[in-house]
Chains A and B, each alone.
Chain A
């Protein structure tokens, strides 16, 4: 089965929900400011810039300065959303994120725009697949990956008043709505989007919709898959994950990021210590992406519903074979 977004499903760029929500917040609270690195348009700050020109601090192409400035603003009682393309915000300013924001414990909201393979053909310099690994290693930094516009809106509203260092990974690659119920986003909580007993598909961001499609396919094959959306990667919702391990006995993780250090690693670290079960970790390992669109690259790395189905079947069928007399 070739998986693509079905033609009739509406898909959304989460940056738009981000930009609109930030303007809403800024209208009600003049402590809200935005900081960016010449990325007004790509960070979806055009509306903010128009309405609040004095509260948009564009430091130019200078990410280290951008994050330091954010820390200085936060230390002065303002609520800065520091926005830049995820690869440059995280890699270029990693030490500022660690020392000025997380270790200094100031309420800066770091907004990594267009993460993962979003910049497709622009190549590995512009891909941000290592960010989850880098940021997950930093203490005192809440790491949030909204999976759709509803989660994005609620995560932005929460982060503004969380009074702590937060990183929001805001997707550019268009995704369908996947979150259910209200609230769509609960900080620190993973959401079970589909119930199942044979295997759990744990996904984040772009891969959540693909995990849901995979569960549909698996159901037609007689395999009951639970789907968990992990929108807060750090700190992890340990109860939901360990319950899934205990109740389904198998876990597949899927993310638009490196397997080393990413969501899969986080789940594996937890599970191996407390409830070891067979796992398959889907993501990118030991490779810089070849040239191609985001959709092409997701397929290239097996980050599709198909890829998730294959991994889940491997787990279920391998166990069926070994347990047969």
Chain B
């Protein structure tokens, strides 16, 4: 079971083709391609978690549109050269959503999608939380919350010192913003005017045990980031066109925070916005039902406004 993960040539060719079609398409068609790609990734995640009998399905489904946009359209990366020094950096701070990251990395060609069958298996490189020493494409080992953003700040400072134009993206869970270490880093990034840094908050409003606002209030979240010197944009985290626009470089003198309003369990009606699906594992029947939904009407889901806390 101790497979070594290596680039998957066929998958890389497929990813390059997709990337080219997205770049060549008009915005609406590009969004359509990304939506289809994200839903294929959702299906893969569901199978991966059901097979392993472990995983954090709710947060995986909420973050997949963000990850798909970044890997399929934004990041300057080369899956054949995961150590390319001038690559853009993507750090998944919410490391428990490793199944979403592994699926995205596999669909990008960093390794074969077949390796996902070993997710959380004995001696598998695909641990419950990502390990950069074993998984190509992973930049830092996350798992304990509140770690990704400080590392991203260091990577952004390094890019500036090295006079590189590479950018650093860090994807955070909203619940983990309750960790104080994030605010040390948010303060430092604002102070240093790190325009090459983008933090994306997967704002699904649920943490493991309850709603964020009932547990330890985050709002007014955008105002808080703005007050620390960040350019803050709030978008629908499942609207691919809006995400692409938010990820485009703009202000060279301010870090950007994209608050992506998402739905935990997005794409599967019986999981959507339900706290118990944080790490519940779907039965085979539930996987079938979920795949049917994802293969059909891709937009059927809980309305954002129904629970959005303003």
**Chain B residue nearest to A35 in the complex (CB):** B154
- Whether the pair B151, A105 counts as a contact (CB closer than 8 A) is no
With A59-B188, A96-B150 given, is the CB distance from A69 to B140 under 8 Å? no
CB under 8 Å from chain B, chain A span 35-82? 35, 54-55, 57, 59-60, 62, 64-78, 80
| Complex interface: chain B residues within 8 A of A71 (CB) | 140, 150-151, 154
Given contacts A69-B150, A78-B161, A99-B143, contact A104 B132 (CB under 8 A): yes
* Residues of A close to B209: CB separation below 8 A: none
Q: Does B187 touch A at the CB level, under 8 Å?
A: yes
Q: Which of B66-102 contact A (CB under 8 A)?
A: 85, 89
Whether A99 contacts B141 in the complex (CB less than 8 A), given A68-B153, A73-B155, comes out as: yes
Neighbouring A residues of B132 by C-beta, 8 Å:
104-105
Contacts of A57 in B (CB 8 A): 157
Partner of B161, one of A54, A60, A68, A96: A54
B308 in the interface (beta carbon within 8 A): no
B139 touches A75 (CB 8 A): yes
Q: Is the interface of A mostly helix, strand, loop or mixed?
A: helix
B181 & A68 in contact (Cβ 8 Å cutoff): yes
Chain B positions 254-297 with a Cβ under 8 Å from a chain A Cβ: none
Per the 8 Å Cβ criterion, residues 156-186 of B in contact with A are: 156-159, 161-162, 168, 180-181, 184-185
B150 CB contact (under 8 Å) in A55, A67, A105? A67
- Shortest CB-to-CB span from A183 to chain B, Å, is 30
For residue B150, which residues in chain A have a CB less than 8 angstroms away from its CB? 64-69, 71-72, 96, 100
Q: How far, in angstroms, from A294 to B17 measured CA to CA in the complex?
A: 67
B133 within 8 A of A: yes
- Closest chain A CB from B11 CB (angstroms): 25
Closest residue of chain A to B170 (Cβ to Cβ) is: A72
Assess whether A33 is interfacial by the CB under 8 Å rule: yes
A104 touches B140 (CB 8 A): yes
A293 to chain B, nearest CB (A): 33
Once bound together, how far apart are the Cα atoms of A103 and B132, in whole Å?
A: 9
A75-B155, A77-B162 given as contacts; is B141 within 8 A of A68 (CB)? no
Q: Which residues of B contact A99 (CB under 8 A)?
A: 141-144, 147
Contact pick for B188, options A60, A75, A95, A100, CB 8 Å = A60
* List of B residues within 8 angstroms of A80 by Cβ: 154
B50 within 8 Å of A (CB atoms): no
Bound CA span A71–B154, Å:
7
- B152 contacts A by Cβ under 8 Å: yes
Tell me if B105 is interfacial: C-beta within 8 Å of chain A: no
Could you tell me if A65 and B141 are in contact, using CB atoms closer than 8 angstroms? no
Query: In the bound complex, how far is the Cα of B162 from the Cα of A55, in angstroms?
Result: 11
Neighbouring A residues of B140 by C-beta, 8 Å: 71-72, 75, 100, 104, 106
Residues of B within 8 A of A62 (CB): 184-185, 187-188
Verify if B246 is at the interface (C-beta below 8 Å from A): no
On whether the beta carbons of A95 and B154 are closer than 8 Å, the reply is: no
Residues of chain A contacted by B147 (CB below 8 angstroms): 68, 95-96, 99-100
Shortest C-beta distance, B85 to chain A (Å), equals 6
Q: Are A100 and B151 touching (Cβ within 8 A)?
A: yes
C-alpha gap A62/B180 in the complex (Å): 10
B151 touches A76 (CB 8 A): no
B196 CB to closest chain A CB (Å) equals: 11
Q: Which of A33, A35, A76, A105 contacts B155 (CB 8 A)?
A: A76
- B120 is an interface residue with CB less than 8 A from chain A: no
CB of B144 to closest CB in A, whole Å = 5
Q: Which residues of A contact B154 (CB under 8 A)?
A: 35, 68-76, 80
- CA of A48 to CA of B166 in the docked complex: distance in angstroms? 27
**B135 → A minimal CB distance (Å):** 12
Q: With contacts A65-B150, A65-B153 known, is A73 near B181, CB below 8 A?
A: no
Contacts of A78 in B (CB 8 A): 158, 161-162
Q: Which residues of A contact B156 (CB under 8 A)?
A: 72
Complex contacts, A69 vs chain B, CB 8 Å: 150-151, 153-154, 157, 185, 188
Give chain B residues whose Cβ lies under 8 Å from the Cβ of A65: 150, 153, 181, 184-185, 188
CA distance A35 to B154 in the complex (A): 10
Closest chain-A Cβ to B169's Cβ sits at a distance in Å of 13
- In the complex, whether B45 has a CB less than 8 A from a CB of chain A is no
CB proximity to A under 8 Å, residues B95-136: 131-133
Inter-chain CA distance A251–B146, complex, in Å, is 44
Q: How far is the CA of A95 from the CA of B180 in the complex (A)?
A: 13
Give every chain A residue within 8 A of B133 (Cβ-Cβ).
104-105
Q: B30 to nearest A CB, angstroms? A: 30
Residues of A within 8 A of B151 (CB): 68-69, 71-72, 75, 100
Distance in Å: Cβ of A287 to nearest Cβ of chain B:
30
B22: CB under 8 A from chain A? Answer: no
Measured between alpha carbons, how far is A64 from B290 in the docked complex, in Å? Answer: 40
The complex places the Cα of A65 from the Cα of B180 at a distance, in Å, of 10
B149 at the interface (CB under 8 A from A): yes
Q: Which residues of the partner chain A approach B168 to less than 8 Å between Cβ atoms?
A: 72
Q: List 17 A-B contacts (CB under 8 A).
A: A57-B157, A59-B188, A65-B184, A65-B188, A67-B150, A68-B151, A68-B153, A69-B185, A71-B140, A72-B152, A73-B157, A75-B140, A75-B154, A78-B161, A96-B181, A99-B147, A103-B141
Apart from the given pairs A55-B161, A72-B156, 17 other A-B contacts in the complex at a CB distance below 8 Å: A35-B154, A57-B157, A59-B184, A68-B185, A69-B154, A71-B151, A72-B154, A73-B157, A76-B154, A78-B158, A96-B147, A100-B140, A100-B141, A100-B147, A103-B131, A103-B141, A104-B132
Listed in ascending order, the chain A residues whose CB lies under 8 Å from chain B are: 33, 35, 54-55, 57, 59-60, 62, 64-78, 80, 95-96, 99-100, 103-106
In order of increasing CB-CB distance, the 8 nearest A-B pairs are: A72-B154, A68-B150, A76-B158, A65-B184, A69-B154, A62-B184, A72-B155, A64-B181
